[in-house]
């Protein structure tokens, strides 16, 4: 198997994980017929679809992947903006904010790192308040400017780092390149989400952030990040890291992912909703699945860029 | 199928429906209440040009030519271009809003359309509102329902359309929009009662959480 291209090797591994999860749910259902596993089954089924879509999107070619990630950012921004309390005066600024999505991905397609990394934090940051001023409505101005910019940062700027990873060339003396690094990032972060959920469900006692997310516990958090870092060794072949580095990076990603999830939970609490949408059965909206990656993506990107490029 | 029908079907299949799915992300509640045969009268709140577009996008393409959104002639026939576009792509049923005389009274034409198997989409508020408040319904719909009591009436409530594309704007902000459909039913009583009943049915859908 080690002779296989790392992307396809990873594909087989994901397939194996999905098959095992599906079997575990089937065994649980047979062992405890009195309990209701329909939500768990729906989640696992959704994982099959998400894994297939994601793997397809990054296996075909780079252009296709960019369109895919651009669409993820667009949908995430939609879910966030729909829940905002926007003012009629914000209309034109919001149109420009959405236009920033394709533009940001054009920089990625051009592999123009300098523009990619300042477009939203600098230019959109300066432009949007100016556009809001032209609507001549000062009541609620600061809130509007801040909320729109925050959404762009988290869901467009943050998520676009996943696509930008794909522009990294192969790292000498390892099987790693942009695509394998992206696979590593997404696999570790999603695995951490799942393991934190599983540990929390089975052993969770002590709430970690009771006012923000009553389902998050210390047992889930610690169990999740520790098992994630150990399990990350299995996918170390996607990276140029030594085993010890792999564990360290996975630990960092798991913690960053936790932070992302907690922040988006607070956003949902503030908006008074349980989920961001209803796109993915058992999971909620797109953002309910991408929340951890909004944080872990930029962290991982800049870490790898600093040390390897 | 006429050239106009074909143009409308192509416009919906290739333009409007993909836009509703992938840009607006239209959500539908009560899809089972979507009437499966014509004629019917659909009554909804009105805050945006997206209202008609989203409602029409829910129906099978082959029924488009029988669906007639009732539209103000003073707005949608204000010049040749707008008139041609709205008739070609939306199959509007133009009516006069002001200064009605026996000759311009649209009711007999609307009744004739229903009898001919065409369905009418009505916005009894009479104009696009802010989307925040439901305006009082005009009595035209009640006149029509009184004269055609056998035609089922479907109430609908449209969410976020006026926020995405308010009056006076031309580029929509892609907020998720929602169509809520109520069960088809008939309304009886005086015109005033029918109007109040329609308004209550639409308002009730608006208050769902």
The CATH number linked to B159 is: 3.40.1130.10
Of B106-110, B130-134, B157-161, the one with minimum mean pLDDT is: B130-134
The torsion angle over the Cα atoms of residues A53, A288, B16 and B10, rounded to 10 degrees, is: 20
Task: For residue A33, name the pLDDT band (cuts at 50, 70, 90).
Answer: confident
Alpha carbon distance A242, A240 (integer Å): 7
- By the 8 A CB rule, do B182 and B30 touch? yes
Determine what percent of chain A is predicted with pLDDT higher than 90: 77
pTM over 0.90: yes
Task: For residue A204, name the pLDDT band (cuts at 50, 70, 90).
Answer: confident
List B153's β-bridge partners, or say none: B41, B185
Q: Phi and psi (nearest 5°) for B105?
A: -55, 120
pLDDT, tens digit, for every residue of A254-292?
999 999 999 999 999 999 888 888 787 777 888 989 999
Looking at residue A68, what is its pLDDT? 95
pLDDT at A2 over 80: no
CA dist A295 → A264, A300, B81 (Å): 10, 9, 50
The answer to whether A272 contacts chain B (CB < 8 Å) is no
* Interface with chain B: mutation pick from A68, A78, A102, highest number of B CBs within 10 Å: A78
Task: For residue A253, name the pLDDT band (cuts at 50, 70, 90).
Answer: very high
Higher pLDDT among residues A151 and A210, named by residue: A151
pLDDT, tens digit, for every residue of A34-83?
888 888 888 899 999 999 999 999 888 889 999 999 999 999 999 999 99
Looking at residue A283, what is its pLDDT? 77
Looking at residue B209, what is its pLDDT? 75
- Residue range B179-189: average pLDDT? 95
Alpha carbon distance B70, A199 (integer Å): 58
List B179's β-bridge partners, or say none: B28, B158
Q: Containing domain of residue B147, as a range? A: 3-206
CA dist A200 → A26, A221, A245, B105 (Å): 21, 7, 26, 68
Q: Under an 8 A CB cutoff, do A82 and B166 touch?
A: no
- By the 8 A CB rule, do B118 and B190 touch? no
- Residue range B107-113: average pLDDT? 95
pLDDT at A1 over 70: no
Angle (CA) A141 A147 A152, round 5°: 130
In this structure, how many other beta carbons lie within 10 angstroms of the beta carbon of residue B194? 23
- Kindly list the domain boundaries of chain A, sorted by start residue: 6-308
In this structure, how many other beta carbons lie within 10 angstroms of the beta carbon of residue A29? 15
Q: Under an 8 A CB cutoff, do B173 and A91 touch?
A: yes
* Interface with chain B: mutation pick from A73, A75, A82, highest number of B CBs within 10 Å: A82
Q: Where do runs of H (alpha helix) occur along chain B?
A: 3-11, 17-18, 50-56, 73-76, 80-90, 107-115, 140-147, 161-164, 191-206
Residue B93 to chain A, least CA–CA distance (Å): 30
Q: How many separate domains does chain B show?
A: 1
| Average pLDDT taken over every residue of chain B | 94
Task: For residue A249, name the pLDDT band (cuts at 50, 70, 90).
Answer: very high
- By the 8 A CB rule, do B66 and B118 touch? yes
DSSP A232: G
């Amino acid at each position: 198997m080690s002779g296989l291209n790392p992307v396809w090797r990873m594909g087989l591994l994901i397939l194996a994980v999905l098959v095992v999860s599906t079997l575990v749910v089937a065994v649980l259902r047979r062992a405890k017929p009195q309990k209701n596993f329909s939500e768990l089954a729906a989640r696992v089924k959704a994982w099959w679809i998400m894994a297939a879509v994601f793997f397809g999107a990054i296996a075909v070619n780079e252009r296709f992947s960019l369109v895919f990630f651009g669409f993820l950012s667009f949908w995430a921004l939609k879910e966030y903006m729909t829940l905002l309390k926007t003012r009629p005066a914000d209309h034109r600024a919001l149109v420009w904010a959405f236009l920033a999505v394709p533009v940001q991905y054009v920089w990625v397609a051009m592999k123009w790192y300098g523009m990619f990394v300042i477009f939203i934090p600098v230019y959109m940051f300066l432009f949007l308040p100016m556009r809001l001023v032209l609507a001549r409505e000062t009541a609620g101005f600061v809130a509007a400017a801040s909320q729109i910019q925050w959404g762009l940062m988290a869901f467009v700027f943050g998520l676009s780092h996943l696509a930008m990873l794909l522009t990294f060339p192969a790292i000498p003396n390892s099987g790693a390149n942009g695509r394998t690094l992206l696979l590593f990032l997404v696999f570790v972060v999603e695995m951490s989400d799942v393991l934190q959920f599983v540990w929390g469900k089975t052993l969770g006692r002590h709430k970690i952030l009771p006012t923000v997310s009553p389902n998050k516990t210390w047992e889930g958090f610690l169990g999740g990040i520790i098992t994630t870092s150990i399990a990350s060794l299995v996918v170390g072949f996607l990276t140029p890291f030594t085993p010890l580095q792999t564990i360290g990076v996975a630990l960092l990603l798991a913690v960053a992912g936790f932070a992302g999830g907690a922040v988006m939970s607070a956003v949902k609490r503030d908006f008074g909703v349980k989920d961001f949408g209803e796109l993915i059965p058992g999971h909620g909206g797109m953002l309910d699945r991408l929340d951890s990656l909004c944080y872990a993506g930029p962290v991982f990107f800049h870490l790898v860029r600093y040390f390897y490029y | 199928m006429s050239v106009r029908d074909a143009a409308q079907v192509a416009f919906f299949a290739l333009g409007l429906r993909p836009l509703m799915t992938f840009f607006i992300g239209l959500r539908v509640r009560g899809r089972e209440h979507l009437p499966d045969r014509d004629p019917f009268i659909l009554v909804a709140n009105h805050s945006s040009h997206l209202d008609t577009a989203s409602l029409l996008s829910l129906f099978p393409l082959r029924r488009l030519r029988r669906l007639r959104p009732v539209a103000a002639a003073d707005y949608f026939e204000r010049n040749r271009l707008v008139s041609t576009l709205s008739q070609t792509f939306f199959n509007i049923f133009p009516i006069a809003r002001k200064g009605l005389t026996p000759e311009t009274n649209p009711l007999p034409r609307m009744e004739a359309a229903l009898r001919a198997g065409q369905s009418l989409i009505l916005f009894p508020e009479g104009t696009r509102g802010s989307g925040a408040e439901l305006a009082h319904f005009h009595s035209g719909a009640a006149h029509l329902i009184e004269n055609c009591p056998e035609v089922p009436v479907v109430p609908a409530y449209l969410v976020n359309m006026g926020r995405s594309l308010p009056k006076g704007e031309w580029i929509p902000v892609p907020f998720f929009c929602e169509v809520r459909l109520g069960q088809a039913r008939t309304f009886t009583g005086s015109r005033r009662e029918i109007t109040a009943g329609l308004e209550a049915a639409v308002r009730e859908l608006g208050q769902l959480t």
